[in-house]
Structure 1
Amino acid sequence: MNREPIDVLISGGGVAGLTAAAAFGTAGFSVICVDPAPPVTAESDAGADMRTTALLRPSISVLRAAGLWERLAPYAAPLQIMRIIDAGGAEPVARLTRDFDARDISDEPFGWNLPNWLLRRELLARLADLPNVSFRPGVASRNVVTREAGAVVTLSDATQVTARLLIGADGRNSSVREALGIGVRATRYGQKALAFAVTHPIAHNNVSTEIHRAGGPFTLVPLPDRDGIPSSAVIWMERGAEAERLAALPTAAFEAAMFERSTGILGPLTLATRRSVWPMMCQIADRFIGQRSALMAEAAHVIPPIGAQGLNMSIADLGCLLDLAQKTPGDLGSGDMLAHYQRRRWPEVKARVTGIDLLNRASMVSARPLRDMRAGVLGALYSLGPVRRGLMKAGLGAR
């Protein structure tokens, strides 16, 4: 039993939770991070997360301060151009292509893309360098009692920890959120996403391409070359039944379907990893705070993988919490600190969840007139320079 309180207990050892542990640990706070499942840190291992994360430019400063970016940068592919293709005509071919170039607003790329399994590997390596951080895989939060003096959490190994601040980063079905009695508002689309990596004969040239037809976007996101061959991550969103059908196809048939759905923009696509399938939803917690407690990442909000917003919103949560903690270290976990977090993050997250929800619904439309309208709106927005630049800045989280 911990007789003296620690500073921060993080429930959840996914990418967001491990990043929070590194950030608070690097800032000098004492941290315990727990997760019932040990992280999978090799692409070939069972259970590896085949998704990738595009770390947008505002997230890099948080990662750099946490001592993480130097570890991650050598494995990252830059995202210089965000290309949107509308292929919603009678045939699955590109009928409208618009490029959003980071050079229009900055000298740097929009962001950098990395596999999620690799993120976990490098995060664990960073935590091993921090003596004030204890990561405990295979351990879960079992019971949460919050008091004015701190959050008292009983762990699955019977350890009891008292923390000045409890952070719930334990996913969309958060046990911390449930223990705090915080409800959620959820929207389910009957939609799933396939995630995997491919190789292709045509170089991606640091262009991330989102192709819209029906059912959801088909997105190719740059990765570093595989054995000298250009490679990309793919997120393919479809109605649930269609996604399951595609996931079960033999490799040759699946590759043929990929080539058609991608409009052949990078040539024939060769499957380079196994396929994983993820359900799509939007969700936001009714509030992000409780006594001595804060929610972040998917415990607070869940969105479909459109516009690279997911983990970047989580890192924005972390950046806000850490900023408040460092400004008044003596008030870590206080009601005043947490009220500031709620005021700063909840309205911002709500606006982004609403925006992504609308974009996803637009990407799913199957009726030809609605697809034609979608293409027309994209063309009109792109043609207005100030609007185009404003959309790019908004996507990065700039005000």
Structure 2
Amino acid sequence: MDRDATDILISGGGVAGLATAIAFGAAGFDVIVVDPAAPVTDATQDGADLRTTAFLQPAQAFLARAGLWDALSPDDTPLAVMRIVDAARDPAVTRDFVASDISDAPFGWNLPNWLLRRVMVDRIADMANVTLRTGTGFAGMVARLDCALVRLTDGGQIAAKLVIGADGRNSAVRQANGIEVTVKRYGQKAITFAVTHPAPHDGISTEVHRAGGPFTLVPLPDHEGLPCSSVVWMDTGPHIATLAALSDADFAAAANARSAGVNGQLTLVGKRSVWPIVSQIADRITAPRTALVAEAAHVVPPIGAQGLNMSLADMACLLDLAVASPQTLGEPAMLSAYAKARHGDMRLRVTGIDVLNRTSMAASPLVHDLRALGVRALHDAAPVRQRLMKLGLGAS
């Protein structure tokens, strides 16, 4: 049987897999990406990912290194302030975490996920050493001393020095290597949508907390001349199902009641999408000739813009190790260094976000009081506030 050969085989053609392919390709490695489905690159297509991603400073630097940022930056929205509103109390407790306290740059930049896919697919089309194969996926692998032999679902085979699993929370690569995961379920879902509003967002991303989960507004570019934001509304699964079934008019009324008046009257724009909320961490992030990144390794609730930014930190670490010693690509020493550098940080952040989410879900007035006191304490002591913001950006 004919067999293709490459430096790196990536399973998964989502944002994480495409970004990984481009970064390694820009560094001079030969890369093949496989995914059973073609990326959806138009917001109006069925299956379009209508969520947005806030790229924090280290993630933006990674995308710039990969040669992607110039194409993305015309559509980004800077995030200058992270605002926390605890609306479970009367009066509400509001605190602003301002990027200028610790940096000359914004905390990050917000971009639609469907647009990320479009820019990344276009970039791959211009790269001679990166190939995107859709319509086929990872079926299995055998790791040898010098390479991994990967079987594809269309019957093809690829020999790769390194296999990267970027194929999501149900990763086929992870399962093929017998790696278990620890999953925490919250009985939560998130509904995502976009809104326009009369008040400018001024680059402020706002998390409004009551019970059930946060209601988060993230700045977007203007829509038809009006200020616009992306919203992630987390709550119990049954409540989100009820919301998803409402008419646009009734849903808009419910969103305005939940928003605590942030940015004024909210007007629904476009479609709504529903996503399950879980927390998940892989027991290991490496196997022979294999590394896991992104949601194949860790899944967190959408709080604090940590999810994809953690994923890009995985990729940056793996890329640095590969560039420093390309002759050891996929070998045990490289994979051990990756696991040592990333797995502890993954566990720490997954645990921290789990605590934040459980606190946000709580209906107890006592928990609300403690949460409000915590927000005040973390914000009002300047050294603590600045350290917290640096940790949120990924600083150690």
Q: Please confirm whether the aligned pair reaches a TM-score higher than 0.5, indicating the same fold.
A: yes
SS of 1:85's equivalent in the other structure is strand
Note the 1:30-45 alignment, pairs <5 A: 30-45=30-45
Which amino acid counterpart does residue 370 of structure 1 have in structure 2?
A: V
Instruction: Calculate the aligned-residue CA RMSD, in Å.
Output: 1.0
Assess if the C-alpha contact under 8 Å between 1:198 and 1:234 holds in 2: yes
1:3 deviates by 4.4
SS of 1:208's equivalent in the other structure is strand
Deviates more, 1:329-338 or 1:36-45: 36-45
Number of the residue aligned with 2:209: 212
Distance in 1, Cα, partners of 2:235 & 2:3: 51
Assess if the C-alpha contact under 8 Å between 2:281 and 2:350 holds in 1: yes
**Does residue 314 of structure 1 match 2:336?**
no
Number of the residue aligned with 2:196: 199
SS of 2:84's equivalent in the other structure is strand
SS of 2:291's equivalent in the other structure is strand
Q: Which runs of 5+ in 2 are unaligned?
A: none
**Does residue 284 of structure 1 match 2:281?**
yes
Which amino acid counterpart does residue 7 of structure 1 have in structure 2?
A: D
Distance in 1, Cα, partners of 2:98 & 2:104: 10
1:89 deviates by 2.6
Instruction: Please list the CA deviations of residues 286-338 of structure 1 after superposition, one character each: whole Å capped at 9, or x if unmatched.
Output: 01000000000000000000000000000000000000000000000010000
Which amino acid counterpart does residue 68 of structure 1 have in structure 2?
A: L
Assess, with a 3 A threshold, how the Cα gap between structure 1 residues 4 and 236 changes in structure 2: closer, same or farther. Answer: closer
1:111 deviates by 0.2
Assess if the C-alpha contact under 8 Å between 1:292 and 1:335 holds in 2: yes
**Does residue 397 of structure 1 match 2:394?**
yes
**Does residue 82 of structure 1 match 2:82?**
yes
Number of the residue aligned with 2:18: 18
User: TM-score, normalization: structure 1?
Assistant: 0.98
Distance in 2, Cα, partners of 1:230 & 1:359: 29
SS of 1:145's equivalent in the other structure is strand
Number of the residue aligned with 2:334: 337
Number of the residue aligned with 2:179: 182
Number of the residue aligned with 2:155: 158
Deviates more, 1:186-195 or 1:81-90: 81-90
Which amino acid counterpart does residue 88 of structure 2 have in structure 1?
A: G
Distance in 1, Cα, partners of 2:94 & 2:18: 38
Assess if the C-alpha contact under 8 Å between 2:190 and 2:232 holds in 1: yes
Assess if the C-alpha contact under 8 Å between 2:3 and 2:156 holds in 1: no
Which amino acid counterpart does residue 275 of structure 1 have in structure 2?
A: R
**Does residue 305 of structure 1 match 2:302?**
yes
Distance in 1, Cα, partners of 2:320 & 2:75: 28
Q: Which runs of 5+ in 1 are unaligned?
A: none
User: TM-score, normalization: structure 2?
Assistant: 0.99
Instruction: Please list the CA deviations of residues 193-214 of structure 1 after superposition, one character each: whole Å capped at 9, or x if unmatched.
Output: 0111111111100000000000
Number of the residue aligned with 1:328: 325
Assess if the C-alpha contact under 8 Å between 1:31 and 1:132 holds in 2: yes
1:5 deviates by 2.9
In structure 2, which of residues 120, 125, 134 is the aligned counterpart of residue 123 of structure 1?
Answer: 120
Aligned residues: 396
**Does residue 388 of structure 1 match 2:385?**
yes
Number of the residue aligned with 2:261: 264
Assess if the C-alpha contact under 8 Å between 2:138 and 2:152 holds in 1: yes
1:2 deviates by 5.6
**Does residue 231 of structure 1 match 2:228?**
yes
SS of 2:127's equivalent in the other structure is coil
Number of the residue aligned with 1:54: 54
Distance in 1, Cα, partners of 2:288 & 2:44: 41
Assess, with a 3 A threshold, how the Cα gap between structure 1 residues 149 and 110 changes in structure 2: closer, same or farther. Answer: same
SS of 1:274's equivalent in the other structure is strand
Assess if the C-alpha contact under 8 Å between 1:255 and 1:268 holds in 2: no
Assess if the C-alpha contact under 8 Å between 1:2 and 1:162 holds in 2: no
**Does residue 240 of structure 1 match 2:254?**
no
1:148 deviates by 1.2
Instruction: Please list the CA deviations of residues 6-40 of structure 1 after superposition, one character each: whole Å capped at 9, or x if unmatched.
Output: 10000000000000010011111000001111111
SS of 1:273's equivalent in the other structure is strand
Aligned-pair identity in percent equals 57
Assess if the C-alpha contact under 8 Å between 2:148 and 2:160 holds in 1: yes
Assess if the C-alpha contact under 8 Å between 1:2 and 1:161 holds in 2: no
Which amino acid counterpart does residue 173 of structure 1 have in structure 2?
A: N
Note the 1:69-108 alignment, pairs <5 A: 69-89=69-89, 95-108=92-105
Which amino acid counterpart does residue 206 of structure 1 have in structure 2?
A: G
Assess if the C-alpha contact under 8 Å between 2:4 and 2:157 holds in 1: no
Which amino acid counterpart does residue 68 of structure 2 have in structure 1?
A: L
